[in-house]
Structure 1
Amino acid sequence: MRISCKTQVGTNQSRQQPSRKQTRRRSLLALVAASVLTLGLSGCASTNSHNFAASDANPISFMLDWTPNTNHVGIYVANSKGYYQDSGITVKILPTAQAGAETSVENGVADIGFSKLSNLADFNAKGAHLKLVFNLAQQPIARWCSLASRTDITSPKDFDGKTFVSFGSAEQTAVVKQMIKYAGGKGDFTTVTSGTNTFTTLTSGKGDFAGFYVSWEGVQSDLQGPKLNCFTQSDWGVPGNPDQTGFAVKDSWLKDPQHKENLTKFIQATKRGYDWALAHPDEAADILVSQTPTAHIDPQQARTSMKLITQEGYWTNQPKQTTVPGRLNMQDAQTYLNFQYEAGSYQDSKGKPVKQAPQAHNLWTDEFIR
């Protein structure tokens, strides 16, 4: 389950970060011209990045939060179908950096990054200036799981005294504590750092439970094993929606009228890609696989994931609906932010608790969704 770039767990692909080596060669004259056009844009291009249009007009760089998966399928569909080119923009997709998409967007390495609202709350509490401009997930997709073979774990109460495979995230800790207490436990557990693959950490016996995403790692578990026994936080006392995920930008980047125009075109083209994916889940899964060969995505996992997303309405909140709203449920958002604030999860740049809960309306805008 991803909370930030540093809180990844493994799937069937290795989650080691790709090289940040610059590969583009230009003549001296072209380099000078390009520097004028792209000052402040990505310095993180890699051999795994994708240029999503033939023209260099109106460039946008987009950074993933993780290895490519069905959460990103709308971007790849938009490219395959020519939606970006039709909109007059050039999109370069960047592999996730070690620092994370949020830091990369804040520092100008990428224009847009895939993130989640609670991540922005954490970063902005420390002095960042990020805003979510498109929300994909409309209901929780995180699950808290032990191996199905662990018959001693039948509810979150049984996580008490066990070892949580984590990266020390205050947000994760607050969620797990609440689930345990709601189930009748004390909320006491130890943590261990995950390796490159959380499934392996669990099967090795180094940890007892961990966080996963049902629409990707849950599918992997069903298809390939090991089988998991999972719990959803909303069933165990955690309020709101912790998994409001989408596209983040830096406030100051939006001050440029050209950036705002390009962002509007990008979001509309990408939303069109997600809509097409919901209407054609198998074909969209195949596009994701074909456009990301270095990710070595299992085609069956991609297809099964898209089927689950469509049937359960994770992006729409309505099963089998084929239009992604892209908007944020403000009540769910603020309820969850309040919960995390009360748990003491948010601290400023000096490590001191913030004086009030982050406000969803300061972290979100629907200006670019039509």
Structure 2
Amino acid sequence: MLRRTILLLFVLMFGTLAWPVGAQDGGEDERPDPLGGATEFAVANERTSVTFMLDWAPNTNHTGFYVAQALGYYDEANLDVEFIEPTDLLPEQALDAGLAEFGVGFQDFSTPAMAEGLDLVSVAAIIQYNTSGFSALAERHQLTRPRDLENLRYGGFGVPDLENAFLRTLIACDEGTWNEDNYIDVGFADVIELLERDQIDFSWIFYGWQGIDAELKGKELSTIMLMDYQDCVPNYYTPILLTTRELIEERPDVVAAFVQATARGFAVAIQDPERAAEILLEAVPELDADLVKASALYLSEQYQADAPRWGQQTEETWQNFTAFLVENGIIEAFDPSNSWTNEFLPGVVENE
């Protein structure tokens, strides 16, 4: 499935709280409370088993879920949560088919699925701003502006319509022109290795995983981060927490319980990334410990960023990015107004 091809590569390349989530190291945390000031949290009306599907192998995008499981937040919410990884069946398909109640998606892939009629609703933004970017080896190419990319060879992951739309729009914003002949489909290859072999000049990575991994291995990258060019390519939520409209209508108590328990897990990931990293490593010991710890520290500033609480989504982000997809022929006209909601997040924030 084309929508998921890009996702797979990205991830590969990338009651009262039982655990305190106060400021780290005894200092003052100036960010708004990631729980929106909540001190009590939703509980399912009856003991309920739910299935939660990851988008790929466990990584720091998922830390809050593992924290919520390990610290008993799901248990306190009257939920028994089974974590599964996708195989032939992807999260959007599993949710739409009723085989999972919750899953991890990405706005740039879930939106086309929603436009095609799949029963999907985003109930939280896991990370507020797009932490992906276009990277080259710094020793070969110093990327200081989007136009620096226009004559370079791009290693793509097999979704040229979407990838070229991003590159075309980004580079045109800097008065440059993207030549689609520079697109090279490299599939699931290790793009850092391809950069080192000089088989491509740049590729699209998630800095919070693949970029940090490269740095830890002594490979200096030069990167154009998409979050720095939101006037060119609108921000979108990547990743997001998905459920279905059917579950919202039939068991809103379960949706609220899962979302709020998850929010508690991400509150720990935001305010105590070292502890959160330890929990993820305890759950998935085969992960690279140095990478997990460094990535957890970086993402602790990105999960909530400047939002009034963790998980918050805005109409502007959904409308602007959907318009981008429509304008570039990725999807037909589509109104995303019913594709997302903040109603199950804990606490209360202004201007909601």
Q: Same fold (TM over 0.5)?
A: yes
| Shift in Å, 1:244 | 4.1
Select which of 316, 340, 362 maps to 2:325: 340
What residue ranges of structure 1 are gaps of 5+ in the alignment?
16-55, 347-353
- 1:213-257 Cα shifts (integer Å, max 9, x gaps): 121112112111432110022444534212342211222333323
* Residue of structure 2 in register with 1:42 after alignment: none
* Residue of structure 2 in register with 1:171 after alignment: 162
**One-letter amino acid of the structure 1 residue matched with residue 169 of structure 2:** Q
| Shift in Å, 1:145 | 0.9
Q: In structure 2, do the counterparts of structure 1 residues 193 and 228 end up closer, same or farther at CA, with 3 Å as the change threshold? A: same
Q: In structure 2, do the counterparts of structure 1 residues 123 and 225 end up closer, same or farther at CA, with 3 Å as the change threshold? A: farther
* Residue of structure 2 in register with 1:277 after alignment: 269
Q: Is the contact made by 1:195 and 1:201 (CA closer than 8 Å) also made in structure 2?
A: no
Q: Is the contact made by 1:58 and 1:88 (CA closer than 8 Å) also made in structure 2?
A: yes
> 1:60-71 to 2 correspondence within 5 Å?
60-71=50-61
- 1:86-123 Cα shifts (integer Å, max 9, x gaps): 11110001113344222222222322110122322111
* Residue of structure 1 in register with 2:303 after alignment: 315
TM-score in terms of structure 1 length = 0.76
* Residue of structure 1 in register with 2:26 after alignment: none
SS for the counterpart of 1:194 is: coil
* Residue of structure 1 in register with 2:22 after alignment: none
* Residue of structure 2 in register with 1:325 after alignment: 310
Matched residues in 1 for 2:10 and 2:246: separation?
A: 34
* Residue of structure 2 in register with 1:6 after alignment: 5
| Shift in Å, 1:344 | 1.1
Matched residues in 2 for 1:369 and 1:96: separation?
A: 26
What residue ranges of structure 2 are gaps of 5+ in the alignment?
15-45, 347-352
| Shift in Å, 1:141 | 0.7
* Residue of structure 2 in register with 1:156 after alignment: 146
RMSD: 2.5
* Residue of structure 1 in register with 2:193 after alignment: 200
* Residue of structure 2 in register with 1:251 after alignment: 245
Matched residues in 1 for 2:123 and 2:143: separation?
A: 39
Select which of 244, 253, 256 maps to 1:264: 256
SS for the counterpart of 2:9 is: coil
Give the length in aligned residue pairs: 309
Q: Is the contact made by 1:220 and 1:301 (CA closer than 8 Å) also made in structure 2?
A: yes
Q: In structure 2, do the counterparts of structure 1 residues 140 and 153 end up closer, same or farther at CA, with 3 Å as the change threshold? A: closer
TM-score in terms of structure 2 length = 0.80
Matched residues in 2 for 1:175 and 1:134: separation?
A: 24
Identity of aligned residues (%): 24
**One-letter amino acid of the structure 2 residue matched with residue 229 of structure 1:** S
Q: Is the contact made by 2:156 and 2:183 (CA closer than 8 Å) also made in structure 1?
A: no
Report the more deviating stretch, 207-216 or 230-239.
230-239
**Where does structure 1 differ by over 6 angstroms across 4 or more consecutive aligned residues?**
none
Report the more deviating stretch, 110-119 or 72-81.
110-119
Matched residues in 1 for 2:153 and 2:258: separation?
A: 42
| Shift in Å, 1:4 | 4.5
Matched residues in 2 for 1:277 and 1:182: separation?
A: 35
Ranked by relative contact order (alpha carbons within 8 Å, sequence separation 6 or more), the top structure is: 2
| Shift in Å, 1:261 | 1.7
| Shift in Å, 1:341 | 1.2
* Residue of structure 1 in register with 2:296 after alignment: 306
Q: Is the contact made by 2:10 and 2:206 (CA closer than 8 Å) also made in structure 1?
A: no
- 1:120-139 Cα shifts (integer Å, max 9, x gaps): 21112223221101112112
> 1:216-227 to 2 correspondence within 5 Å?
216-227=209-220
**One-letter amino acid of the structure 1 residue matched with residue 82 of structure 2:** K
* Residue of structure 1 in register with 2:94 after alignment: 104
Q: In structure 2, do the counterparts of structure 1 residues 239 and 162 end up closer, same or farther at CA, with 3 Å as the change threshold? A: closer
Q: Is the contact made by 2:123 and 2:241 (CA closer than 8 Å) also made in structure 1?
A: yes
